[in-house]
Structure formats: structure tokens, C-alpha cells
Amino acid sequence: MTIQEVIKKIDRYLKKDNVEPLIVDVQNKVDLDAIILHYKLPQNVFLCASDTEFCKADEFPIISNILERLANENNSFFISEVSSFFMLKGEKALVQELKELLSMSIAGHAVILTFQCAEYLRILINNDRRLDGKVCILGGEKSVRPRLVFTEEGIKLTDKSATVKGLRGIAKAVESTTAEVLYIETHKSKDSYPFSLYTISDLKNPYEVLCHLDGMTAGLAEGYGSKEEWQYALTEFQVHPSWQQLISAKIGSIYNLDIVISTYQQKSADKKWLWLYFIGLKLFHAGNDSYLNKVVEAASSPVGLVHNLYRTILEVEPTDSIFASIYDRRKAHLNAIGNPLDEVNNFCKIVQSKGKYALYYLTDNTIQEKELIFKLLDRYSEDFERAELFSILGHVYPDLRAYLTPYRFKNELLDNYFQEYKYQKVVNKIFPNFMEVVEKQAVDRDYNIILQPRSSVIEGIDVTNAQTYFTDAMGVEYLGYILSRCHTLELMAKVTVCRCELPSITSRNKEFWDVLSTEQFPIITVDKIDKIKHHGEEGYDYSREDRKLPIHLIRELELIDELLKKIKTNLTNGDYQKAILIADHGSSRLAVIHETENLWEMESNGKHSGRCCPKSEVDERPASATDAEDFWALANYDRFKGSRKANVEAHGGATLEEIAVPIIEISYLNTAIEVKIMPIDSTALFIGIPEITVSFRKRAAIKVFSTEKLVDVSVVIDGHVYEAKPIDDNFYVVEEMTEIRRAKTYSVDVLAGGMPVATALPLKVKKESGSEKNIL
């Protein structure tokens, strides 16, 4: 039938009396709207099954209430939506309801508008031809029957979605919209309507909705986020409707997520950002960062990401060719995430299962790891060759390796003594052969010949525009570290090593104060190192069983580094032209861990940890003690009885580490410095390779030119070190290099203050006879 034919039939029906209901079935929204509009007149009453008097918000309508009105009220009713509701219950329920509607008694007229029920109505007509006159089927193109998606209230979908609140709105939406999918906010599930003529699916949580909106979501386990986190992402999808767009907008380019980790700590307070970054890594990976990708692969949460960032490296052996590169990446990542304390502590426990190889896995990022390094050195140092141990420390704890860097005292005894002393301090042991040297020096006291007294040196120091720092208890053991840091900070250091007054206590060692302190630059006291060594400040206490390790060295190196950085800043700002570091005395760690007392007992208690004793209390000079005016000062590792044991380190005695002290003059090193080498009797060559000649009588000699004034200049050639004497502000000569005899091209390093200022400068050596033989 056409719509005109249907309207004529409805008109004839409305004019009759004592009639039964008339069903008019339409196939699309346009025809339905046309019929309703045509009969929207005051004399007609329109009822919808979804009206509030028949239907609650999230329930199926009570059809009996509609039928009651039809049975009792003498009106011309137009009823819609009943069939669209019954399609939820399935074909059997729908057909039964249509049959009951056709057979019911009414007081007036009832035009029941059904939607796309033609095939079911024909079934009824075929079974009972008497119904043919009660049914009017309007032809026309069927509109698409929408697919229903049941969601929960509060789940926000994209703007393009057609959303219906509650079950009550289903029929109206089916009959009035052209949407292919309807999202129904309901507590019902598709299981409530197993025979539905609609295709129904459940999206009962935000994760399921996201799976529906972006297929990439299916690659993410639902457990990767909480309901609230998935809802956050779903809300953001309204603006950024795909994971790629969302991650790009909120986190950064999906191609650079490995770089984004550098901002992790800054963003760590934003839990949504952390979660979204984790999701981004799971979906789009971490670029070419193989370690981070492996970490992400095994992680199931942002917490797990951090957890794996620490531990995944344990799956790789230190001998693996990729170990060094992933170690460096991991270390940078851990600094980026802020080295969370709980993870650090747990990692430090687990890594010890690696035995001596645990050293390879630690970093200098945290105090906990640094302390564990000392524990492992104490336990396993004898299982390593010293060169191997130095190599490991160079990677895992560069500052400690720098502390172990040799300083050239230009004296064999001092060179060997302090290198051994530092190593034994670090590994927390005293070797028998070193003790022999200590005991021998306790008697010989060669330092009296080797080292000048400090009082004879300080008068020659230029204090013009110079700031002096009194660094209490900073002995010469730190020189290797200080020069290494000066090189990194682009500072130049001139070092003078001398000896302090005995006993090595502060009250006897301030003769420099009036000389170096000026009105413009009064001396600044830096006493933190002494407070750590002598008083156990900051919790360093050797008397505790868990503190019998030289972990105080961690803080000492930090304090020195902080001071050098401050000096660099002041020099750069022009606050002064030179800084002078001077110590009153050194100190001894090995005297503390030796734990021996001699036969002599002091009457007074607590004086300088037993390293010196007033003569008035001991009548006879111990063999290992030296005369220090009104004191006896021990020159070995003994301790006078009756005194308080040192907590960390001791001073007051006369061992080399207690009495040898540095004076360090630090100035700014111009990074634009140029250095040239040339024959000793020639000018600089700016092109080509300089040449010198040697013979049986003529020794190799060179001249060094620098655009900046240097201090303590030396050159290193073929593994040999030669001092260079200044001849004016810019020239330095090496008058005799005995070992350089062969004709060949050598590589020359130029050092200032023990640190390189120019490296790999070529020098060609020829035989004077002219018969050059190049053996390279």
C-alpha cells in the first residue's frame, strides 16, 4: 500500500463505530513521521510506550497500562513504539503481542503504529485471514535496523555516537534516528534479551568502549589500567579520537617515546601522565632503545615499568657485547625517573646474588649503591686483578676511580706509598708489605728530607686577588681526584706538597693564617671533611658494626667537588683570579682499621684518638714515636692506651698520610688555549710536523709554546714523563729526554698540573747522521 492508501484506510477506520484496533506498519522514519504529522490534531490522542506513565527510565514498558486506557477511554488513540520494544524480547514475544493487540476490546479507536513488522504480521494473517482487514502494511524502503550497544552510565563516548539514556529510550531512538549504532546507558546486559531481534553487544566498561573505538586497544590487557584510568582515556578520546592522536598530544611524538623518559621526573606527580606514557610505550614502543623496549615488554603497569627498569639488566651478563651500552642507557633512565628509594633498596639486595659480579651492575646514582660498592670491594677485591677493578670503577663509580688516580709526587716513595694507601683505604684492608713500609718510615722518617715544611713555602705564595680556603684535614690523598675534577671543570691547578707541624693537630698548624688571609679576601674555613673524619658527622661511625666500611669517602668526594664547582663559578664571574686550597694536616684511615694499642698508657683520656701523647704522661719515647715538642707523635698505626678510639679517621700522628699536606693554587684555564711543540732552538711551526735530531752525544730536547701561561708543565712521550721548565710566560723547555733515541714519529701529550692540555701532538725524531730509519 502507498501512504495515500494507508491514510484513506485510517480515515475510514476513524469514522466507524464499534471497531477493533487497526495496526499500521511502516518501514522507515520518513513515512512514520508523515503519518504522525498528518494526524497530529486536537481530537486525536498520541501515546508512546516510552511515556513516563507507562515506562520507567531503565525498564521495559508496562503494556497493560496502555491497554487499560484503550479499553476504558473513548478516544481516537495513535499508539507507537510497542513493536520496537517487543523486538527486544524476540520474534515469539513480538508475534504474541501483535496477536493480542489485534484481538483486544477498546472503547473508542486505536491505531497502533508498528515499525518493520510486516513479515510477522503476514504470519498472523496467513494463520487467520480475518485479521487481514485489521492490518495495513505501508510499503517503502526499510531503514537500517540499528545495532544496540549496552553501556553503563558515565561512560562517555565520542561526539559521533548516538547515546540513549536508559532502556526507555530504545524504541523512540529506533523509530526516529538513522544511526546505525545506538549506545544505550543501561544496567541491563545483552544476556537479559537472548532472543532479541536486534544485534546487541555489551560495552560495560571504558576499556571495552576503547576497544570498540580504536582496534589498537585490543593489544592492551585490561589489567594495564584501572576503570578510572580507562575512563580518563575515553574522555580524552572525545578530543583526540585515537591512541596515536592522544599519545602525541599528551605525551609526545610516538616515534620519540624513548626520549620522553627524560621528562619523567618532572611529570611524576601527574599519575595520569605516567599511566598514559606507559600505555604509549606498550602501543608504540621506545624507538631504537633496545633496553627500554625489553623493559616495557615485560611491564604491566607504570610501577612495573620502573621495577623492570632496575632489574632487566640482571638478565644480561657483564661479558655480553651489549652490556656496556645498555648499562649506560639504563643509568640515564634511572636518573630520569629520580631513582626511587624503594626500588634502589630492593635492587641492592637482589644484585648481591651475583656475587663479585654485582659490582658491574651498580651505578653512582644513589648513596645506597655507592655504599654497596664499598661493601663489595671489602668482600671481593682480592678476587679481581687491580687493573680490572679500576676498569669496573671507571664505569660504575667514576669519582671513586678518580680518587684512585695516581698523583705524581716525583718521588718514588711518595708515589708508591699514597697509591697503596688509597687502594687499601678503599678496599678496607691493610696489606703486610705496606705495613712493612709504614713501620720502616716510622723509624726512618724520610719525609723530613723529601718534603719541605709548609712554613717555608707559604711566604712565596702570591696572594694578590686570591681567595684562600682552609680545608681542614684534606691531605694529599685527594690530589688525584682534585686534579681530575679540575681537568673536567677546565681549571688549572698548581700543587705544592709539603709537611705540616707535629703533632698533626689543628692547633699546631695555623702558621699560614696570617700570611694567606687578607683584608679583601679573609680565609674561608671548610671544615666539613674534618667533622666527618674526626667526629663522625652525618652518621659515619666506625664503632657501629654496620659502618666498618670507608663509606665516608662518598661524602668527602662530594664536598670537594662542591667546593671546586663553587671556585669555578667565582673564577668565571671574576670574583677573584685565583683560589688557594690549604690544609692544616691530613688523616689516617688505616690507623683506625689497624686497631692496635702500644704498651704506653696515657693518663688523660680522649686526646686525638691516641695518635699523640703529652710527654708529661709518658716518660719514655716509644720507638715508633717522633719528638713533637711537648708531645710524642706516633709514626706507625699504634695508639696510646687510655684514649678514645677514632670513629672514622685519626690524626695527630706522624704517618705520611697525616703529615703530608697540599697547597693547591687554582686558576681558570682558557679553553681556547693552543699548544705547540718545536725543537729547543727553533720557533713554532704552524704547519707540518716538527722535527728534532738525536745522536750518541745529542739527547732529544724540545720546547713547548702555549698561548696561555701554564703551571707545572710536563710532557709524556712513549710512556715517559719529562718535566718542562718555564723560560718565560709562554715557553717551557724539556732539556733532555734520555729514553727518546729511536728515529720515528712520536705522539706527545702536554700536561699542566698533571692534567692534559694538549694530546697526540706529533713529533718526528731523526738521526743526526741523516740516515733516518723510521721503524713505524
pLDDT digit string (tens) for 63-87? 999 999 999 999 999 999 999 999 9
SS3 48: strand
Query: CA geometry: angle at 312 spanning 307 and 317, to 5°?
Result: 150
Cα 764 to chain centroid, rounded: 49
Query: Which is higher by pLDDT, 203 or 450?
Result: 450
- By C-alpha distance, which of 85, 235, 94, 90 is closest to 175? 85
Per the model's pLDDT, the better-predicted residue between 639 and 93 turns out to be 93
Mean pLDDT, to the nearest integer, of 161-190? 90
Burial (CB < 10 A; 0-12, 13-18, 19+), residue 252, is middle
Residue 377: how many other CB atoms lie within 10 Å: 25
Residue 267, all three cell numbers: 611529570
- Alpha-carbon distance of 683 to 731, in angstroms, equals 10
With residue 148 as reference, give the H or E element that holds it: strand 147-151
End-to-end CA distance of the chain: 108
* Residue 381 and residue 370 in contact, taking contact as beta carbons nearer than 8 Å: no
pLDDT given for residue 540 in this prediction: 62
* Calpha distance 630→615 (Å, rounded): 6
pLDDT bracket for residue 282 (50, 70, 90): very high
Distances (CA, A) of 446 to 252, 438, 452, 612, 742: 66, 11, 11, 19, 37
How sure is the predictor about 563, in pLDDT bands with cuts at 50, 70 and 90? Answer: very high
C-alpha cell at 61: 514498558
Distance CA 495, CA 484 (A): 13
CA distance 776 to 774: 6
Contact 566, 524 (CB under 8 A): no
Cell of 352: 648481591
Cell of 64: 497493560
Residue 543 pLDDT grade (very low, low, confident, very high; cuts 50, 70, 90): low
Tell me what pLDDT residue 774 has. Answer: 47
The cell numbers describing 59, all together, are 525498564
Short-list 239, 19, 28, CA closest to 3: 28
How high is the pLDDT of residue 455? Answer: 93
Q: How confident is the model at residue 605 (pLDDT cuts 50, 70, 90)?
A: very low
Query: Is 735 in contact with 680 (CB distance < 8 Å)?
Result: yes
Measured CA to CA, the distance from residue 256 to residue 259 in angstroms comes to 5
Helix runs in 39-169, H state only: 63-72, 82-86, 91-103, 118-127
Task: Give tens-digit pLDDT for 683-697.
Answer: 766 778 999 999 988
pLDDT tens, residue by residue, 449-501: 999 999 999 999 999 999 999 999 999 999 999 999 999 999 999 999 999 99
Distance in angstroms (rounded) separating the CA atoms of residues 306 and 258: 14
Q: What is the pLDDT of residue 627?
A: 85
- pLDDT score of 266: 93
Q: Is the pLDDT of residue 116 over 80?
A: yes
pLDDT value of position 604: 53
* % of the chain exceeding 70 in pLDDT: 93
State the pairing for strand pair 76-80/147-151.
unpaired
Q: How far, in Å, CA of 205 to CA of 217, rounded?
A: 13
From residue 528, give the alpha-carbon distance in Å to each of 252, 364, 402: 45, 21, 21
Write the pLDDT tens digit of every residue in 612-633. 877 766 667 777 888 888 788 8
Selection from 265, 240, 495, 512 nearest residue 365 by Cα: 265
Rounded to whole angstroms, how far apart are CA atoms 638 and 241?
Answer: 77
Tell me whether residue 223 is exposed, middle or buried, using C-beta atoms within 10 angstroms of its C-beta: 0 to 12, 13 to 18, 19 or more.
Answer: exposed
pLDDT tens track for 375-415: 999 999 999 999 999 999 999 999 999 999 999 999 999 99
In DSSP terms, which residues pair with 135 in a beta bridge?
A: 23
State mean pLDDT over 322-350.
Answer: 96
For residue 294 the three cell numbers come to 625489553
User: The dihedral of CA 72, 73, 75, 80: what is its sign?
Assistant: negative
534 has pLDDT over 80: no
Strands 713-717 vs 720-723: parallel, antiparallel or unpaired: antiparallel
Give 597's pLDDT tier (boundaries 50, 70, 90): low
pLDDT of residue 776 exceeding 60 = no
| Residue 137: CA count within 13 A, CB half-sphere | 15
d(CA 706, CA 731): 7
Position 775 scores a pLDDT of 43
Q: How far is CA 121 from the centre of its chain?
A: 71
pLDDT at 669: 85
Distance CA 21, CA 110 (A): 5
Q: Is the peptide bond before 61 cis (omega within 30 degrees of 0)?
A: no
CB-facing half-sphere around the CA of 545: CA atoms within 13 A: 0
Place of cell 623518559: 261
Domains of the chain: 1-200 (3.40.50), 215-338 (no CATH), 397-669 (no CATH), 672-767 (2.60.40.10)
Tell me the pLDDT tens digit for each residue of 729-740. Answer: 789 999 999 999
- Cβ burial of 45 (10 Å; 0-12, 13-18, 19+) is middle
pLDDT at position 598 is 60
Residue 766, pLDDT above cutoff 90: yes
Closest Cα to residue 84, out of 145, 126, 151, 30? 145
User: What pLDDT is attached to residue 529?
Assistant: 86
